[in-house]
Structure 1
Amino acid sequence: MSQAVCHCRNCQRQSGTAFSVLLVVPTVALLVQGQTTVYQDRGDSGAEVARHFCNHCGSSLFTALPSRPDVRFIKAGTLDDPSFMAPKLHVWCASAWHSTVIPDDATVFLWGPSKGV
């Protein structure tokens, strides 16, 4: 569906770096084999966020939002081949690190798209 870079503080903490690169897919297109561990979180907006991790290695796999049950946000670093990723959407840029370079042609939201810019 789309690709995005999230600069929210929770994604920074979860990824251990400046942002999280995401592939947004329809929930029905995601097949999860095996169990995941879920960490119930709250995003910077205050909304609930279910962060799914691998039970074996602890890698962050994807995020599910109760407010958006139709999509899942896959952590692009977990893909076998992320070479096609070229996200042009950057969200929660109000908390982006000053050293983070956001391309000039990117669509930028200071907060999430639903909160406006």
Structure 2
Amino acid sequence: MSNKFTGRCECGALTYEFSNAPEFIANCYCKDCQRSSGGVMASYFSVAQDDFKLLSGKPRSYPYVADSGNTLERNFCPDCGARVFTDKLSGFPGQVFVMLGSLDDPESVKPPLMEIFTARRISWTAALDVPQYPARPDADPQSTVGRMPGGCG
């Protein structure tokens, strides 16, 4: 039997779970992620859409077209306003990108594998000891590592 990973928004109105440990985890410094997270970067991971289950609440979504030209929807709690996940990414069908800080136990997943759009990193933030990409890295079509969600950049 697999472990269940669980998470929620700040107030607990939106809760979710998934079973498979995420393989793609990144810190993104693009302006879209800075603005939508309210921080210097966003930390997120990818989960297969059919593994991601919303257990409670109904998110409010914000659909838009990213600088990349891809469409997506960022999903927030309508009560506390916390951003929890992004879905309906035209560049990554079948994937949900979940905010790392929304996990009940963020230590239960491995640390970020890369940092992207580091050219937009705020000068006083330190780099992790992982691959650094000043923009969107080139993707190996056979791998999800190195493939960026459509909402970045």
TM normalised by structure 2 equals: 0.67
Distance 2:113 2:78 in 1: 31
Q: CA deviation at 1:103?
A: 2.1
Distance 1:95 1:8 in 2: 6
Distance 1:66 1:60 in 2: 19
Does the alignment pair 1:88 with 2:113?
A: yes
Question: 5+ unaligned residues in a row in structure 2: which ranges?
Answer: 1-22, 140-145, 147-153
* Structure 2 contact 24–113 (Cα < 8 Å) conserved: no
Relative to total residues, which structure has the larger helix share, 1 or 2? 1
1:22 is matched with which residue?
44
SS at match of 1:108: coil
Change in Cα spacing, 1:71 to 1:114, as seen in structure 2 (3 Å) is farther
> Which structure has the larger Rg over C-alpha atoms?
2
Does the alignment pair 1:37 with 2:64?
A: no
Q: CA deviation at 1:114?
A: 4.8
- AA paired with 2:92? R
Distance 1:91 1:97 in 2: 13
Q: CA deviation at 1:54?
A: 1.3
* Structure 1 contact 4–24 (Cα < 8 Å) conserved: no
Q: CA deviation at 1:45?
A: 2.0
Question: 5+ unaligned residues in a row in structure 1: which ranges?
Answer: none
Deviations 1:62-103 (A, max 9, x none): 112122112111001111111234112111222111222112
Does the alignment pair 1:66 with 2:94?
A: no
Q: CA deviation at 1:52?
A: 0.7
- AA paired with 2:52? L
Equivalent pairs, count? 115
The root-mean-square deviation of aligned C-alpha atoms, in Å, is 1.9
Between stretches 77-86 and 19-28, larger displacement belongs to: 77-86
Distance 1:22 1:66 in 2: 17
Change in Cα spacing, 1:15 to 1:112, as seen in structure 2 (3 Å) is same
Does the alignment pair 1:6 with 2:31?
A: no
Distance 1:28 1:3 in 2: 18
